[in-house]
Amino acid sequence: MAENSEQEACRRTWFEEARFGLFVHWGCYAVLGRGEQIMARDLMPLREFEPLAQQFRPRGDWARRLASRAVAGGARYVVLTTRHHDGYCLFDTATHGFTAARTGPGRDLVREYVEALRAAGLRIGFYYSLLNWRWRCHWDPVTYADELPRMVAEVHTQVRELMTRYGKIDILWYDAPSLPGSAAHGMWGGKALQVPAAEFWRSAELNAMARELQPGILINNRSGLPEDFGTPEQRVEAEGGRLWETCMTVNYAPGWGYLRHSMANKAPGEVLFNLVDAVRLGGNFLLNVGPRADGAIDAREGEVLDRIGRWLGRHGEAVYGTCPARIYPARGGRVQGPMFHYGMWTCRGSVGYLSLFYYPGEELILSKIGPRVVSASLLTTGEALQVDAIPNGRWRIGGLPSEPPDPLAPVVKVSFEGPPYALTDLGPEWLDGTWRPAGPEHGGPP
């Protein structure tokens, strides 16, 4: 039965309000501590890679601890890699025995994850890689053409298993709809099949099955079909007119899985900048961690997550449930917008929040923003600030501390007479201090 607009809105609303999620790349590759793609990057034969599954032995409380860290970090949902490109499944499956249930862990780790997230009140996401390096037909679809239908059938069977065994699932996050024989990460120069990826993987059929089994699910755009939301990777780039979510690592890719020694990492302030950048343009931010083989989050990634969580504990009002309003254009891409030299705006109704990544000192000048300002406060501390109208339709916000009151980004909360928007009708008279925004609703000096 076709979905009506009210049902679609209900399915989307929680995602738009959540704004921040945790991505978890985890599998038997964590034993080596050299990232999630080590099998193919090091050209490890199966007889060399498969023993890692027996050495992979997560602690019994890994899922509960993960859920606790996600909550403390301010995430509203989590997406776990149920199967990555190496084909190792964290769930049991009827298709093969290379799974957590039949190797080292000896249990269904996806079930433990779902139960822990549900108990913590978090939304549940499943990452699933269509690509599986273990099939020879992926590398040589001509010689091993007879394997191709079985490889696709395996995907359909496993997705059905994921959609039927664990209760309500909120996100199906596909990855890597690569065509057999295609180049991947510069590792292969074979001859790819000449069909659309969605046709090869039978993605329309696959996604229809997922929606039938999970009517409220959101599906990303990596099955070869646009579906519900876009997934810019390692960059903030708005997709106008649809849901989107930036996914990003703390380290500089490649490195989504556990890296025992990572020498180049983003600072907490840099991660927060990207988070707010995504939210102010209308997107979500999915921050990745790659747990160790025992399931614990590495200290470097944990520190970033903890600091983001502490910031959201003070400033979550400026993130959750906010939108760009009319400050930033609705088209796609990345824009600076008014006052980018101080920071970035997020909005809720008639309230704007300015996250200050470039702290101005004791006073802040609001420019090129309307309508009339009613009041302002420092969200970081709750202190009221002084508001004065000054020439060129600007507002002086006074009473700020001389030094930043937050080590990552203080936030100024501004109440306007209506939903805030950018002023774009600027004329050259601003050089004389006589420019006035058009219309009395814009405010400006008396």
This prediction's pTM: 0.95
Write out pLDDT tens, residues 291-350: 999 999 999 999 999 999 999 999 999 999 999 889 998 766 678 999 999 999 999 999
For residue 446, what pLDDT band results from cuts at 50, 70 and 90? very low
Write out pLDDT tens, residues 228-254: 999 999 999 998 789 999 999 999 877
Tokens of 387: 């508001």
Nearest to 352 by CA among 406, 442, 416, 284: 416
Of all residues in the chain, the percent with pLDDT exceeding 90 is 87
Q: What is the DSSP string of 387-421?
A: EEEETTTEEEEE---SS-SSSS--EEEEEESSS-E
Lowest mean pLDDT segment, chosen from 3-12, 204-213, 293-302, 368-377: 3-12
- The superfamily (CATH) of domain 5-318 is Glycosidases (3.20.20.80)
CATH 2.60.40.1180 range(s) for the chain read 343-442
Lowest mean pLDDT segment, chosen from 42-56, 182-196, 397-411: 182-196
Contacts within 8 Å (CB) and 24+ apart, 226-233: 228/11, 228/12, 229/15, 229/284, 231/173, 232/283
Q: What DSSP designation does 175 have?
A: E
CATH 3.20.20.80 range(s) for the chain read 5-318
Beta strands in 144-190 (DSSP E): 171-175
Average the pLDDT over 266-285 and give the result. 97
Nearest to 395 by CA among 372, 418, 411: 372
**What average pLDDT does the chain have?**
94
pLDDT given for residue 445 in this prediction: 36
Q: Does pLDDT of 418 surpass 90?
A: yes
- Classify domain 343-442 by CATH number: 2.60.40.1180
Average the pLDDT over 54-72 and give the result. 98
Write out pLDDT tens, residues 114-149: 999 999 999 999 999 999 999 999 999 999 999 999
Q: Does pLDDT of 440 surpass 60?
A: no
